[in-house]
Amino acid sequence: QQQVRQSPQSLTVWEGETAILNCSYEDSTFNYFPWYQQFPGEGPALLISIRSVSDKKEDGRFTIFFNKREKKLSLHITDSQPGDSATYFCAASANYGNEKITFGAGTKLTIKP
Amino acid sequence: DPKIIQKPKYLVAVTGSEKILICEQYLGHNAMYWYRQSAKKPLEFMFSYSYQKLMDNQTASSRFQPQSSKKNHLDLQITALKPDDSATYFCASSHPRGGRGAEQFFGPGTRLTVL
């Protein structure tokens, strides 16, 4: 059973548009949700994270929207740039991240100039 | 300077052999982790260590053995290698349970191919 689901599997948007990446989870004990960005041949890099006590977290062009009741969250990337082209992983953890992280399968984002 | 070093970057092994994947972190963290990423599965948690003690093991096989010789080292020994072990192995680190921050930082990975 996949604990963290992501959609779509791949997404293409034009430069300057907003990309929306979706994520849902099963385990009610999850309370920490990091998003990681991964470029080919590199390790995942922490992009932005949110704790379940918040419903929104913003960092520059990246915003997480979190709906605890529906167990859903989304990552919005505004003013998308070609350099944002990467695979984005939604992840979840209990104990505010101080233990194993469960990853989704990822969304491959392509930004067309 | 890289904060998490993984060596080697690429590794080719024959079925049945044994290899050790090296991980060193210079972030001052006391918790370290191993994850695996393959074409068939998303990033998958394997082990977590805190202050050089095993905290969690989600690996079904005893062929995978972490080794922590220093608090900023967590190597991964894999014995009796199988083609299914082919994957990229990532080391990560964070402040431990109850520490200042929960964020886990990942190394660049070791890509293992078993022939």
Q: How far is B88 from chain A (nearest CA, A)?
A: 9
Say if the Cβ atoms of B105 and A102 lie within 8 Å.
no
Angstrom distances, CA of residue A21 to CA of A64, A72, B20, B83, B112? 10, 11, 37, 33, 30
Nearest to A98 among B4, B90, B97 (CB): B97
pLDDT at A2: 73
> What is the structure's pLDDT at A103?
95
- Chain segment B58-102, per-residue pLDDT in tens: 887 899 999 998 889 999 999 999 999 999 999 999 886 554 457
Interface of A with B (CB under 8 A): 32, 34, 36, 42-46, 49, 89, 91, 93, 95-106
CB contact under 8 A, A98 and B96: yes
Flag whether pLDDT at A97 surpasses 70. Answer: no
Using a CB-CB cut-off of 8 Å, the residues of chain A touching B95 are: 98
Which pair of structure tokens corresponds to residue B15?
A: 């079925």
Q: pLDDT tens across B29-59, in order? A: 888 999 999 988 889 999 998 888 888 888 8
**Interval B9-18: pLDDT, tens:** 999 999 999 9
Give the pLDDT of residue B101: 55
Cα gap A50→A112, rounded to integer Å: 28
What DSSP state is assigned to residue A42? S
Task: Calculate Rg over the CA atoms of chain B.
Answer: 13
Residue A21: predicted pLDDT: 98
Separation between Cα atoms, residue B84 and residue B52, nearest integer Å = 28
- In this model, does residue B106 exceed pLDDT 60? yes
**Summary mean pLDDT of chain A:** 94
Q: How many CB atoms are located within 10 Å of the residue A18 CB?
A: 12
| Yes or no, beta carbons of A98 and B90 under 8 Å apart | no
Which residue did the predictor score with more confidence, A23 or B29? A23
Which residue of chain B is at minimal alpha-carbon distance from A6? B42
The mean per-residue pLDDT over the stretch A98-111 comes to 92
What local confidence, expressed as pLDDT, does residue A34 receive? 94
DSSP structure class, residue A93: B
Interface of B with A (CB under 8 A): 4, 31, 33, 35, 42-45, 48, 55-56, 58, 90, 94-99, 102-109
List the structure tokens of B79: 């014995």
Q: Tell me how many residue pairs between chain A and chain B have CB atoms under 8 A apart.
A: 60
CA distances for A97 relative to B25, B60, B100, angstroms: 19, 23, 11
